[in-house]
Structures are given as C-alpha cells and as structure tokens.
Amino acid sequence: WQEERARAAGAPVSGFCAQTLREATALLEAGCTDVLLTNELTEGAMFRLAETASRHPKATVNTLVDCQAHIAALETAAAAAGAKNVGALIEIECGQGRCGCPAASDTAVALARALVDSERLTFGGLHVYHGGIQHLRSSAERMSAVNVGPASAAESTAARLRAAGIDIPLVTGGGTGTFLQDIAAGTH
C-alpha cells in the first residue's frame, strides 16, 4: 500500500517515512525522492539500505542513529555500496526509555559533529518520537505530554547543537495521534 500511496501523491514524491527497509525500498521504487526509515538498523540492514540507496541516486535516504557505532557502520555500508545519498537523523530519547541518546547531551553534539564531518553521510537532523503519547485519551493530556517530552527534548537539543555551530536541517517526530499537538508545539 505504501507504493500505491506514493504514486497517488504524484511525482516527484518526497517526505515519506517508513518503519521497515521493505517499506523504504517500495517508496524509493515508486519514485519517492526523500525517505526516512524511522528505525535504527542492524549492521546487515545498513548494508541493504546503502545498496538500495545506490540504486536510487537522485533520492535522499535517511535512517536513525543514537551512537557512534551506528554512524561508523552506516558510513562503512555507504562506502561499500558506493552510495552518496545516505544520511542519518539523531534519535533523541524523550521519555519513552527505549532508544535514542539523551536530549541536549554531549553525545548528541558529538553525533551531530560526526555526521557533519562525514565524507560519506549527511546530517539529516533530529528525530524526537514518543509513540506512547499518541494513546493518551484527551487532547489536553497529549499536549501536556508533548510539551514535557518531545518538544522539550527537541528544543533543548537544538539549542545545544546551534550553540556548537551546527545547523539542523530538520526536527521531526510524533505521529498521527499527536499531529495537532506536535504542530502546536513546533516539533513537526
């Protein structure tokens, strides 16, 4: 259905998120020019992503990282595939306690610097996502949770990166259940 959705949007198609490598591949094959794989990948999956990106050189293909080992492995994969269109967004932990580096941390700054300085990868920005907030019952509860979690984490991390002289191309996160709250908080 992702491919049909992409084709229905018209060409060029850009700005799609995918949860799996299979979805990302389908979006690229449908003509999408900007795909974000909203997961951190295993080393093997990084090689498959880089190979897929190399077959679609006019597209931008991003994934998530939260440690230096992810960046090193992704850079190795992109080099092996000859891909020049692979990038990464830094995943920021914002209250879910699942993955991501700490908000406004030295780690976030070091990861951004490593991506900016990379010869092979591009720095795509920040990914600040807390899926559990989407299931809160009322709009007011969701707004409060977005402000305390993702919005606060995004703002503080962006401020740290800007203070370090690093431009942030994109800050993203949220989902269907928090779309209106993310827009209101400025974290879309």
CB atoms within 10 A of CB 68: 13
Q: How confident is the model at residue 11 (pLDDT cuts 50, 70, 90)?
A: very low
Angle at 70 between CA 59 and CA 178, to 5 degrees: 65
Residues 33 and 16: their CA atoms lie apart, in Å, by: 9
Residue 85 pLDDT more than 90?
yes
pLDDT score at 176: 87
Q: How confident is the model at residue 145 (pLDDT cuts 50, 70, 90)?
A: very high
Specify the pLDDT at position 187: 61
16: β partners: 35
How many Cβ atoms are within 10 Å of 138's Cβ, its own excluded? 8
Write down the H helix ranges in the chain. Answer: 2-8, 21-29, 43-54, 68-81, 106-117, 139-146, 152-163, 179-185
Distance CA 30, CA 12 (A): 10
CA dihedral 153, 136, 39, 35 (to 10 degrees): -90
Residues 42-53: tens digit of each pLDDT: 999 999 999 999
- Specify the pTM: 0.91
pLDDT, tens digit (0-9, with 9 covering 90-100), for 50-79: 999 999 999 999 999 999 999 999 999 999
